[in-house]
Structure formats: structure tokens, C-alpha cells
A and B are shown apart, each in its own frame.
Chain A
Amino acid sequence: MAKRDRLSGNEAVAVAMRQINPDVVAAFPITPSTEVPQYFASFVSDGQVDTEFVPVESEHSAMSACIGAQAAGGRTMTATSANGLALMWEMLYIAASSRLPITLAAVNRALSGPINIHNDHSDTMGARDSGWIQIYGESNQEAYDNFIQAVRIGEHPDVMLPVMDCFDGFITSHAVENIELMDDADVKAFVGEYDPEYYLNNASHPVAVGPLDLPPHYFEHKRQQAQAMMNAKKVILEVADEFYKLTGRKYGLFEEYKMDDAEIAMVVLNSTAGTAKYVVDELRANGVKAGLIKVRVFRPFPVDEICEALKNVKAVAVMDKADSFNAAGGPLFTEVTSALYKNAGTVNVINYIYGLGGRDVKTDELKSVYTKLEEIAKTGKVDSVYNYLGVRE
């Protein structure tokens, strides 16, 4: 039976790890993800899991050990944030190209510099082209649910890619919320056994992994990797469907909040969605046709679906908690606008960079974004595409 509890996002993910009972967890402490391996180490110490916990000396070695472990045939997990993810960078690409379905709890934190331990999305946004599936979650419940689904998604034979379960540092990782936990046996049955066809520890069928791949074959391997990411979209929906039947909690590629007749909309990731929903409710009470799209799956990016969802909207604000320093707009903005290319000219889109380095995002600020959208919807004119929200001018 499912059980109601009160947990922080980090503890919820650690509990998911315990329920999954992976073969190897290799991790290194970094705020705000430290608690994940910390909780997990206590599960190991208390004999609640069969996992080998590898307390590595760096995040680079964490991802390297995960690669070695997953290639060897073990189900493998880790957690990190910000600079830790950056130190893994080289290995993220190798995990993906080696087609190793490692699961990573990515607790979003601003990437140095300057150093800052608080939340934004500059860490995982930097890793958006590393070949990892990226799933974002608004709450502790979503961080937990996404982590469990991530295992199934990554390990699907049509996918075989590593997955990041992204959620906001401190806001989600440390705040304690009510949560509905699955029964241990249900999680176990849902994720099943990791049963790779080829693995290093198979003495009766030795294989070699990680070649020098020269021009005659490298491109074919990358094309095949790209296909796996394309296949992932369908698998993510299938897994979500199965998860819904088991838990009653529904997941898709993104969540549409009051979008049916929306004339203006905001596109956001992670915990800001909670604040934005509150604002939407207020606006709706005043007769404003406001809506919200909370992107759950950023990699693969749901291009056609986002385009469809926004086709009747007159003005959209894409909210980026990371800057691209391209003098044009943030990473989510770039994705959404290219998705909307098919509807070019019918939807006006603006971008806000907000909340960098843990700057609080207040309802009044989000309300001002909707006010701007109302003005654009009315006049059809956009005076500024690339904007900052909440920075002192």
C-alpha cells in the first residue's frame, strides 16, 4: 500500500534509491545534493540495501565509477549539483555515447562563478547536449516519481540512455512536503531487474566497451545515439502510463495548466511552476485567460507537442533560470521558439531570465510578466524579446 509521509526532496529521492536497491551508487558530496548519498549511505550501513556504495574522491570519479559499474552489468546511480555536474562533464558524454542507462539525481544549483550554492538551472542546462535524458520536476513528489520512472525509461531496449532527474536545490531538495510513497514491493516490481544483453562481468561472453572510433564508424554511432533519444519520447509516455495505473499520478512530456482557452501563457521549469500556478489562479479569478506550461521532459524536447499546445495562444513568456550568454535568450527560450517555428508569425514569444543564483521569484514579478503578455496580446507588438526579471536596474 502507498504510504503518506513528510520528506524533503533529497530524502524522497534517497528513499526511491533504497526501494530500487541498485547494484552501485557512486557519489561525492556537494551542496545541495549531499543528502542523497548521505541518506543512502545510512541505508547501506543498516543493511537495508544490497548496494555497493562507492564514496569516490570527486564527481569525475563518481561518473567514471558509474560508467564502469553500469558497463559491468550493474544498475548504477548517483547524485550531484552545479560544479559537481560540471566536473562530470566529460564523463556525461561518454556515459551517453556508451549507451549506459545510469540514473542521476541532478539537484539544480547555480554553476560557479561566482560560487553560489543556491538554485538556478545553469548546471543542467549546460549539460543539455550531453546526450542524457533530462526530466524536470516541480515538487518532492515529482522528484521521487520521476526518479523511479527514470530507471525504466533509461533501461528500455529502444533507449539505453542515462537519465537526469532534475529538481530545484533547497526549494525542492531541502523543503519538507507531504508525499505519497509507493510500496517497496511495487517499486521493485515496477523497475524490475536490470538485464543488459552485454556486460563486462559476463565471463562467458567477454566484450569491449569504449573504442577509439574513427571516421568510418563514429558518425554511425552518433546517428544511432540520436535515434535512441528520438525513441525515448514514446517510452517516456508508456512508462508514465504504467506509472499512472499503479499510482494514479499522471505524467506527460509537459503539464498544461489552464491552457484550454488560454490567450497568454508562461513556459517554466521546476518549482517556479508552483508560484506561477498561484498567479494564474488569481488572474483567472479576474477574468484573464492566463495559462501555464510546465516542461517536464527537456531532453528529448517535445517540439511538436509544445507547438500544438501553444498554437492558439497570442503571447508567450518563456522563463529561463539560466542565461545562455548568446545575447539572444536563454536555453528554454531557444528550444520553445524553434519548436514554434511552424507557427511562426502567429505567436509572440518573449523571454525572461530570472532567479539566477537563488534570487527569490515573487508572485508580483510573475504577475508583471502576465501583464506584459496581456499588452502584447492586445497590441500585437513586442518591444523587447530578451528580458531580465528581478534584477536591480
Chain B
Amino acid sequence: MAFNLKQEAKKPERLTGGHRMCAGCGAPVVVRGILRALNEEDHAVVSCATGCLEVSTFIYPYSAWTDSFIHSAFENSAATVSGAEAAYVAMKRKGKLPQGETKFIAFGGDGGTYDIGIQSLSGAMERGHNMLYVCYDNGAYMNTGIQRSSATPKYADTTTSPAGKVVPGKPQSRKDLTMIMVNHNIPYVAQTSPLGSKKGGLKDLHEKAQKALYTPGPAFINALAPCPRGWRYDTPRLLELCDLAVDTCFWPLYEVVDGVYHITYFPKEKLPVEAYLKPQGRFRHLFKAGNEHLIENIQKEVDDRWAMLLKLADNA
């Protein structure tokens, strides 16, 4: 389905204002993009892992979700919504629900998805529930104050991987969760990001959300969601950061449909990773004299992962 922004814009808003996410946060942009891909007549049951998104969008008695919403805990967004989906199937079967479709969507940050929630996510995907799990990846435990997660990029300065005199930030590489989800052999997996106006804005995210929501069975989307506090960049530059992430191939955009890889964005000119690192305070220490090898190290990893993806997508 082609993306028609003017048509999509007429749909009612499903995430209200008045939530308490920080000014300029990437996560609600991702959430709005996902929810806008719902058919207007469909209802959604949304669950959220404990994290910034949850504690800011549902502070009693104010829910920013115009659909049904449930939060139960940190590590179980997928399991919680899988239960709601199971109830839906049974209630439909027993004729307890009227006509019409309900979609089941779980959200989690990278902490709630890559780390503490990975078991629950893996289980729900394997069981084949008709649901979409969306990870908004901002690369650290931002809600508790920027602690490292397994999604935190190598050498990033966080409060539990501080860049010190001896250790230059997080020593380990990022876990590749999207690939882990691909290997669950589910019908649809994608990696996406909101983008700036020159790169189609929310087009990539919208199209993937639509496919993920309306492909029967489990689907997973990993969406980049910059965090101005944790990444330490100038707040208005949200989408510039996203653009740089995809143009450096730090965050390639692709989807895997029934096991077949499609890269959905090829940079016109693949930029060196410095372009992405430079505007972010969490990588500032890498630009001190004598740390060039650290950036080279990151560059090599980005290149290797991109080459691997090209190979998988038969674009090598």
C-alpha cells in the first residue's frame, strides 16, 4: 500500500498530548507513527513495558492512549499482551465480542526488550500470537537515568558504563536484537526509524507498521528513538540524528518478510560513522586525541554488520 501522507493525516490521533515524556523525545514519534498505520475502524489493545513511555503516558488518572491500554510490569509487555490476545480469540470464538477487528501491540524500550523482557518477547513470538511488538530503541535505560543496556552502542558514556580515565565507555558491542527476532522465523520483522523531511519522514516507519499490523501472526519492529537527555544532543535535531544513523549504516533500514531480507534504504553516500557520533555528547570522549582507534573500531563493526546485511539481502 502506497503511503499517502495527506490521507493518513486525516486519521484521528491515537496518542494524545498531555503525556509527560521529555520535550523532543523520539519515542512518542515512533508510537504515533505505529498507531497511525492502524485502520481507522480498528480497535487496539496496547501494552507497555515499564519505562519512560509507560510512566509518562499513564500517570493516574491520565491515559494518553485513546485505545485500550495495559501496563503490568517491566519484563512482560509481550506476555501481557499475548494473554489479552488469547482472551480475544476465545471471546470471539464464544461469540462474546461484536464484529470488528482488534489489533494487539506491545511496546518496550531497549531495556524492556533486549534485556529484561527478551524471554517474554521470545516466548510470545514463538507461540505465534497475532500481535506486534515494537521496541523503541534509545540505547540505554533512560527512565532510571541513562544506564547501559545490551542495546547501548560500544564506547557510549552512560551512568553504568562511564567514560573514565581507563575505560572508554561501554566496552561491549550492541546486541543485534533485530537479527535475533528474524531467527524466530516469524512472518514479519523490520528495523526502522523516523526520518527527516528529505528522507520521506515517517514513510518507512508507517509502511513497515502497516505490514506488521496486518500480516497475520507475530511481528516485530525495532525502531530507533533518539533520547536528547541520554544521547546529549541539541533537542531540535531529533530527525537529523535519525538521518545520520541511517546514512552511516549504523542503523540500517530493512525488513524480513517470511525469511526474505529487503533493505529498504540505501544511503546515496555512506557517511563515516563520525558523522553520527560527533553530535552526541555520549561519544564526546572518542574525539580526544589518542582515541582515533576507538572510532576505527566502531567503524569496522558498522561496516562488517552492513556487509553481512547486504549479503543476507543478496545485495553484496
Residues of A in contact with B (beta carbons under 8 Å apart): 23-24, 26, 50-52, 54-58, 60-61, 64-74, 76, 90-91, 94, 98, 200-204, 206-214, 217
Asked if A201 meets B61 with Cβ closer than 8 Å, knowing A50-B94, A76-B83, A210-B72, the reply is no
| Docked-complex contact A203 and B63, CB < 8 angstroms | no
Asked if A50 meets B70 with Cβ closer than 8 Å, knowing A65-B83, A68-B81, A206-B43, the reply is no
Asked if A211 meets B71 with Cβ closer than 8 Å, knowing A23-B91, A50-B94, A203-B43, the reply is yes
| Docked-complex contact A60 and B70, CB < 8 angstroms | no
Q: Mark B9-47, 1 if CB is under 8 A from A, else 0.
A: 000000000000000000000000000000000010101
CB distance from A305 to the nearest CB of B (A): 35
In the bound assembly, the distance between CA atoms of A199 and B45 in angstroms comes to 10
Sample of 29 A–B contacts (CB below 8 Å): A24-B83, A52-B87, A54-B127, A58-B120, A58-B123, A60-B76, A60-B120, A61-B120, A64-B73, A64-B79, A64-B83, A66-B83, A67-B80, A68-B70, A69-B84, A72-B85, A73-B87, A73-B96, A74-B83, A74-B87, A76-B83, A76-B87, A200-B45, A201-B87, A202-B68, A203-B97, A206-B65, A212-B58, A212-B71
In the bound assembly, the distance between CA atoms of A72 and B80 in angstroms comes to 10
| Docked-complex contact A91 and B72, CB < 8 angstroms | yes
Q: In the complex, which residues of chain A have a beta carbon less than 8 angstroms from the beta carbon of B98?
A: 203-204
| Docked-complex contact B59 and A26, CB < 8 angstroms | no
Partner of B73, one of A91, A202, A212: A91
7 tightest A-B contacts by CB?
A: A68-B83, A74-B87, A57-B123, A65-B83, A203-B43, A208-B63, A69-B83
Identify which of A26, A67, A72, A74 gathers the most chain B CB atoms within 10 Å of its CB: A72
Q: In the complex, which residues of chain B have a beta carbon less than 8 angstroms from the beta carbon of A71?
A: 70, 84
Closest to A74 in B: B87
Kindly state whether residue B180 has any CB partner on chain A within 8 Å: no
Q: In the complex, which residues of chain A have a beta carbon less than 8 angstroms from the beta carbon of B123?
A: 56-58, 61
Identify which of B72, B100, B120, B123 gathers the most chain A CB atoms within 10 Å of its CB: B72
Q: Mark B87-111, 1 if CB is under 8 A from A, else 0.
A: 1111101101110101000000000
Asked if A211 meets B60 with Cβ closer than 8 Å, knowing A64-B72, A201-B87, the reply is yes
Asked if A64 meets B43 with Cβ closer than 8 Å, knowing A23-B94, A212-B55, the reply is no
| Docked-complex contact A54 and B80, CB < 8 angstroms | no
Partner of A94, one of B72, B91, B96, B119: B72
Chain B: residues with Cβ within 8 Å of the partner, total of 48
Asked if A68 meets B47 with Cβ closer than 8 Å, knowing A24-B83, A94-B73, A200-B68, the reply is yes
Q: In the complex, which residues of chain B have a beta carbon less than 8 angstroms from the beta carbon of A200?
A: 45, 68-70, 84
Asked if A64 meets B71 with Cβ closer than 8 Å, knowing A50-B90, A58-B123, A210-B58, the reply is no
Kindly state whether residue B191 has any CB partner on chain A within 8 Å: no
CB distance from A83 to the nearest CB of B (A): 16
In the bound assembly, the distance between CA atoms of A68 and B196 in angstroms comes to 36
In the bound assembly, the distance between CA atoms of A286 and B98 in angstroms comes to 68
In the bound assembly, the distance between CA atoms of A57 and B122 in angstroms comes to 9
CB distance from A361 to the nearest CB of B (A): 38
CB distance from A374 to the nearest CB of B (A): 51
| Docked-complex contact B91 and A67, CB < 8 angstroms | no
Closest to A216 in B: B60
Asked if A201 meets B84 with Cβ closer than 8 Å, knowing A56-B123, A57-B120, A206-B43, the reply is yes
Q: In the complex, which residues of chain B have a beta carbon less than 8 angstroms from the beta carbon of A213?
A: 60
| Docked-complex contact A208 and B93, CB < 8 angstroms | no
What 4 additional pairs, Cβ within 8 angstroms, besides A211-B58, A217-B61?
Answer: A74-B87, A94-B73, A211-B61, A213-B60
Closest to A201 in B: B88
Closest to A90 in B: B73
| Docked-complex contact B67 and A74, CB < 8 angstroms | no
| Docked-complex contact A212 and B86, CB < 8 angstroms | no
Within B230-272, the residues touching A (CB, 8 Å) are none
| Docked-complex contact B120 and A64, CB < 8 angstroms | yes
In the bound assembly, the distance between CA atoms of A296 and B183 in angstroms comes to 49
In the bound assembly, the distance between CA atoms of A287 and B171 in angstroms comes to 78
Kindly state whether residue B315 has any CB partner on chain A within 8 Å: no
Asked if A54 meets B86 with Cβ closer than 8 Å, knowing A68-B81, A208-B65, A208-B68, the reply is yes
In the bound assembly, the distance between CA atoms of A210 and B58 in angstroms comes to 8
CB distance from A223 to the nearest CB of B (A): 15
CB distance from A221 to the nearest CB of B (A): 8
| Docked-complex contact A201 and B97, CB < 8 angstroms | yes
CB distance from A272 to the nearest CB of B (A): 36
Partner of B59, one of A52, A65, A211: A211
| Docked-complex contact A64 and B80, CB < 8 angstroms | yes
Closest to B43 in A: A203
Closest to B74 in A: A90
CB distance from A295 to the nearest CB of B (A): 31
| Docked-complex contact A68 and B82, CB < 8 angstroms | yes
In the bound assembly, the distance between CA atoms of A318 and B187 in angstroms comes to 58
Kindly state whether residue B75 has any CB partner on chain A within 8 Å: yes
Kindly state whether residue B66 has any CB partner on chain A within 8 Å: yes
CB distance from A130 to the nearest CB of B (A): 14
Partner of B75, one of A50, A51, A60, A72: A60
CB distance from A319 to the nearest CB of B (A): 36
Q: In the complex, which residues of chain A have a beta carbon less than 8 angstroms from the beta carbon of B91?
A: 23, 72-74, 201
In the bound assembly, the distance between CA atoms of A51 and B85 in angstroms comes to 12
Q: In the complex, which residues of chain A have a beta carbon less than 8 angstroms from the beta carbon of B93?
A: 50
In the bound assembly, the distance between CA atoms of A50 and B119 in angstroms comes to 28
Q: In the complex, which residues of chain B have a beta carbon less than 8 angstroms from the beta carbon of A61?
A: 76, 79, 82, 119-120, 123-124
CB distance from A86 to the nearest CB of B (A): 15
Q: In the complex, which residues of chain B have a beta carbon less than 8 angstroms from the beta carbon of A57?
A: 119-120, 122-123, 126
Q: In the complex, which residues of chain B have a beta carbon less than 8 angstroms from the beta carbon of A212?
A: 54-55, 58-60, 71
